Amino acid sequence: MPAILILGAGPAGAAVALGLRRLDYPVTLVSDWRRFPALEGVSVRVLEALRGAGLEQALVQALQPSQRQVAWNGQEHAQNIEYLLDRPAFDRGLRDALRLAGVRMIEGRVLGVQSTDTGHRVQVEGHEQIFGEFLVEARGRQAPALGKVLCQGEGSGLRGPETVSLLNRWQGPQGRAASAVHSLEDGWAWMARRADGQCYWQLTVDVASADLPGKAQLLEYCRQRRRSSPLAEVFFAGAEEHDLHLHARSSTAILSPQVCGDNWLRVGDAAMAVDPLSGNGIFQSLSSALQAPAVINTLLQRPERTALARQFHRQRVEQLFLRFARIGRDFYADEQRWPEQPFWQARRQWPDQRPAHNTLDFSALRIERAPVLRDGLVDEVEVVITPDQPLGVWHVQGVELAPVLRRLQQHSSHAALSGLDEEQGRAVRGWLLGQGYRP
């Protein structure tokens, strides 16, 4: 079996490694430890995706449930439970899961990657050079591009308004876990408090218009911004801040112009990085990672399907990115108090004016051939294209939809759905009704 190298041990890299091990590929994963002990707010949807990827054990010591408060467009309300994910504990859990699965782990900073049509040589600090026939890039939004020779013929990519997030961390008194997000005239802030007193406050602003001070003054700038916020004062109860740290990072939404080649693949934030406002960064990382093992398996075992496999990966990465970008755009547009401020003006119009979810129209459904995942490989079958699923839907509850749609065009719904068991019939009828079908 060809040797596969994965760069990055976050959720995306870990999910790809576990999926490849299930297909019996030898996997070597290279990763350096995160340099800043971050905390992330994640939804139940993200937790379900992590469990579906086989990463449930990594969550055991890393989660705290929290009631999330939202202050947006002058209104305040409590949303559903948000789970505070401690990244250092989660990252340790990911590495434990990888070792148990038989993934070879190399810890160290990647110094360089030399890629050709025949394979990839990776230089890791403190280690001998390693080689693999296939490379998976999963080092996040800062991952460098591969050589131009390997990246020809891909798309143009997409980049949102330049955005920076300033994450502050300090030790406060112990108390109840909580989190909150609120809008500001020049951006928005997220804050969280763990039960052990670890406090986090992240300010997200526009790079071009924020007029930030120099690096040496950033910590004091953040302190003043935080203390001038009535919501933050109440949230942190005006407690003293001990051992205060600052970490600045880009949070610009980015779609990479090259996400797949004949012997390499980009997943997670290295393929597409969404705006942190969505709270779905891990979810979208896993979305591209969960399909990757089948794409890689196809590229290595079915070279005649290379173009189909690359099309499958590229289209789904692009479609998911645009959907998240449009959902973020609509949420930014909900804040109407400062429409002319540069931060809000740029983000309420990007990436385009197309709706995040299209109107249901059963008459618009059509049948096309498209790539899908089948038996651990990318294959081409007939799917049903819908206004809200432009890449198509293959089956529901194991029932292929293209033959059902053809029968509906010639027969009654009773005749078209005959032969399905009760559970299948209920699922297919529900899907059809959800597309606007009215018998």
Tokens 């407690």, residue located: 239
37 prior amide bond cis, ω within 30: no
- Write out pLDDT tens, residues 68-114: 899 999 998 886 788 899 999 999 999 999 999 999 999 999 999 99
- Scanning 271-416, the segments in alpha helix (DSSP H) are 281-301, 306-334, 342-347, 401-408, 413-416
Residue 350 CB neighbours (<10 A)? 19
Question: Do the domain assignments include residue 72?
Answer: no
pLDDT at 148: 52
* Judgement on whether residues 299 and 151 belong to the same structural domain of the protein: yes
pLDDT at 438: 86
pLDDT at 149: 45
Question: Do the domain assignments include residue 74?
Answer: no
Tokens 């109107």, residue located: 359
- Write out pLDDT tens, residues 395-423: 999 999 999 999 998 888 888 888 899 99
* Judgement on whether residues 260 and 241 belong to the same structural domain of the protein: no
Q: Read off the CATH number of the domain in which 55 is found.
A: 3.50.50.60
- Write out pLDDT tens, residues 106-146: 999 999 999 999 999 999 999 999 999 999 999 998 898 87
What does the mean pLDDT of the chain come to? 92
* Judgement on whether residues 375 and 239 belong to the same structural domain of the protein: no
pTM for this structure?
0.92
Angle between helices 11-22 and 281-301 (to 10 degrees): 30
Q: List phi, psi (to 5°) of 214.
A: -65, 170
Distance CA 12, CA 31 (A): 12
- Write out pLDDT tens, residues 256-312: 999 999 999 999 999 999 888 866 778 888 889 999 999 999 999 999 999 999 999
- Its domain, for residue 381, covers 362-434
* Judgement on whether residues 226 and 241 belong to the same structural domain of the protein: yes
Decide which of 250, 278, 303 is a domain's last residue: 250
* Judgement on whether residues 269 and 183 belong to the same structural domain of the protein: no
Tokens 């068991």, residue located: 421
Question: How do the residues of the chain divide into helix, strand and coil, expressed in percent and rounded to 5?
Answer: 35, 30, 35
pLDDT at 414: 86
Residues 151 and 145: beta-carbon distance below 8 Å: yes
Distance CA 41, CA 277 (A): 10
Q: Enumerate the β-bridge partners of residue 407.
A: none
Question: Do the domain assignments include residue 356?
Answer: no
pLDDT at 384: 97
* Judgement on whether residues 186 and 41 belong to the same structural domain of the protein: no
Decide which of 250, 281, 311 is a domain's last residue: 250
* Judgement on whether residues 100 and 188 belong to the same structural domain of the protein: no
Tokens 């526009």, residue located: 206
Question: Do the domain assignments include residue 357?
Answer: no
Overall average pLDDT of the 216-230 stretch: 93
Question: Do the domain assignments include residue 73?
Answer: no
Overall average pLDDT of the 322-345 stretch: 95
Question: Do the domain assignments include residue 355?
Answer: no
Looking at the chain, the whole-number percentage of residues with pLDDT higher than 90 is: 74
301 vs 45: which has the higher pLDDT: 301
Work out the pLDDT band at 36, boundaries 50, 70, 90: confident
Overall average pLDDT of the 27-39 stretch: 88
Structural domain count of the chain? 3
